[in-house]
Amino acid sequence: MKSDSDKLIAKHAQLIHSEGLTVCSHTQRDDGEWIQHLLMIDGYNVPFKFKRKSKYKSLTGAKVNMTYYADMITVAGLEFEMMKVVRIKRY
C-alpha cells in the first residue's frame, strides 16, 4: 500500500520527499488570516516555507518528514531559491 507522499510524488514528478530532516530554526509570523512558517534545515542553505491557518508548536530541534519542491522568489529585483513545503510531518 502506497503512503500519501508516494501518491503525491507519482502524480507530480517535481516533488521531492525527504525523511528524518533536523530543523535548525522555525519562525512563525502572521500573514493576514494565515500563519507563515519558515524552516531552516540542517545541511541545507535554502529556506523551507509554508502557510497554515494556525500556529504550530516550535519545530526547532525536531526531526521531520517533508514533501516539497524548489521555487524562486524575487526580492528587490534579486532572485532567491526557496523550497515550498507541500506536506510536513514529525518523524
Banded pLDDT at 90 (limits 50, 70, 90): very high
Q: Give the model's confidence band at 34: pLDDT under 50 very low, under 70 low, under 90 confident, else very high.
A: very high
Q: Cell for 10?
A: 507519482
Provide the grid cell at 66: 517533508
Taking 60 as the threshold, does the pLDDT of residue 51 lie above it? yes
Distance (Å, rounded) from C-alpha 35 to C-alpha 2? Answer: 30
Rounded to the nearest integer, the mean pLDDT of the chain is 90
Best CA proximity match to 86, nearest among 70, 74, 72: 70
Query: What is the per-residue pLDDT across 60-87, written as a single tens digit (0 to 9) for each?
Result: 999 999 999 999 999 999 999 999 999 9
Confidence of residue 49 (pLDDT cuts 50, 70, 90): very high
Which pTM does this prediction carry? 0.83
